[in-house]
Structure 1
C-alpha cells in the first residue's frame, strides 16, 4: 500500500481527525490527510517528532534492548496516537489524531498495525 492509501485507511478509523506519515530524523511529513483549523498537521508532526526522539533516546540511555511501538498522548477532547514503524520502514511514524468521544483506542491501534504491515515506502 502506498502513502496516500495508508493515510486514507487511517482516516477511515472511527473518530479520525487527521493522519500523517512522518520522518522522525527530519521532522518532515511525507504526507498528511485531514486536520483543519483546530489541528495543524505539520505542527503536530513536528512536535510528535520530538516526543519520538525523546523516547528513543531514553531507551538508548537506559540500555534497554527494545523498541517503541506506540505512544499515546491523551488530551481532554483528543487522542494523539503515534505508531513508530518497524524495521524496513526507515525512521518513520504514523501520527493519528482522534476525537476522544468517538474513538476506540484498541481498534485504532489494531488498524494502525495493519496499515504498517501493508505499507510500502
Structure 2
C-alpha cells in the first residue's frame, strides 16, 4: 500500500531507493521511465541509473539502490563531461560521421557509463559494481535500451 505522506517523508531523508523517480512530464517521462525499467531488467544489481538532459544536466528519471549513492550530486558534472567531450571532438574536426556514443569512467570497484541516446539531447547513465557485472554486459544492456 502506498501512502503519499510516507513517500514524501522518505524523500526528506535522502534519495529515494529502489524506485524509479521521474521529474519529467508527458511522453518524456514515459520514455525515461521505460529506459530505466529496461536497464533494471538487464542489470538488476546496478548501483544507480539515470536519464539526463545533456544541455541542462537535469535528471529526467533516476534509480538508485543506496542512500549513500546520491546520483543528483554527480549528474550535472557528468553532463558537463559530455558537453566538453563534444567540444573536444568538434575541435578535432573528424567529420559528421564521427559522433560521441559512450564515455566510460573506470574506478577501482565501479564502472560508470554515459551513453548518448539517439536524439543526442539526453544520455543514459549507469553505475555498476565491478564485482557484480562486467563492462561487456553493461554496455550491451545500455545499447539495447536505446529508443
Same fold per superposition (TM over 0.5): yes
5+ residue gaps, structure 1? none
Counterpart in the other structure of 2:110: 78
Is contact 1:22-1:93 (8 Å) kept? yes
Residue 2 of structure 1, CA deviation: 2.4
Q: Does 1:22 find its partner at 2:52? A: yes
Aligned residues: 115
Bigger shift: residues 36-45 or 92-101: 36-45
Is contact 2:46-2:65 (8 Å) kept? no
Within a 5 Å distance, the mapping from 1:80-119 to structure 2 comes to: 80-86=112-118, 89-116=119-146, 119=147
Bigger shift: residues 33-42 or 73-82: 33-42
Deviations 1:81-112 (A, max 9, x none): 110112xx241100000011111211111111
5+ residue gaps, structure 2? 1-29
Residue 17 of structure 1, CA deviation: 0.8
Bigger shift: residues 5-14 or 53-62: 5-14
Residue 35 of structure 1, CA deviation: 4.6
Extract structure 1 runs of 4+ deviating beyond 2 A.
35-38
Give the TM-score, by structure 1 length.
Answer: 0.86
**What secondary structure, in the 3-state scheme, does the structure 2 residue paired with 1:19 have?**
strand
Is contact 1:14-1:103 (8 Å) kept? no
Residue 14 of structure 1, CA deviation: 5.2
Larger gyration radius, structure 1 or structure 2 = 2
Counterpart in the other structure of 1:54: 84
**What secondary structure, in the 3-state scheme, does the structure 2 residue paired with 1:16 have?**
coil
Give the TM-score, by structure 2 length.
Answer: 0.72
Q: Structure 1: how far apart are the matches of 2:115 and 2:127?
A: 11
Higher strand share: 1
